[in-house]
Amino acid sequence: MSGKKEKKVRIVDHRHCRICGKAIPPNQEFCSENCRSISERMEARQKRMRNLLIVMYVAVFLIIFIMLALRAGMS
Ligand SMILES: [Zn+2]
């Protein structure tokens, strides 16, 4: 029994760039300013899409509500 068994299964602390997937230090979110600006643009678009979706939901709800109200008024 002479072999020292060194267990070095330590996972190096790192994360991946959210845009291109490159390994980056854990205190960073993106690998470069370019990826940061891409992410910001994507987030802005997602926010706009979410607002649009909410507006559409409200519009559909209003249309259904008006149709039901009209039908109720007819009978
Ligand atoms: Zn990147």
Identify whether 51 is part of a domain: yes
Identify whether 30 is part of a domain: yes
Q: How many A from CA of 69 to the centre of ligand 1?
A: 53
Q: How many A from CA of 56 to the centre of ligand 1?
A: 34
Q: What is the pTM of this model?
A: 0.57
Q: How many A from CA of 71 to the centre of ligand 1?
A: 56
Beta bridge partners of 15: 24
Tokens linked to 9:
């299964």
Q: How many A from CA of 20 to the centre of ligand 1?
A: 4
Identify whether 2 is part of a domain: no
Alpha helix ranges (H) inside 1-75: 33-74
Identify whether 4 is part of a domain: no
Interval 13-35: pLDDT, tens: 889 999 999 999 989 999 999 99
Count of domains forming the chain: 1
Q: In this predicted structure, what is the pLDDT of residue 2?
A: 59
Q: How many A from CA of 10 to the centre of ligand 1?
A: 25
Residue span of the structural domain in which 38 resides: 15-74
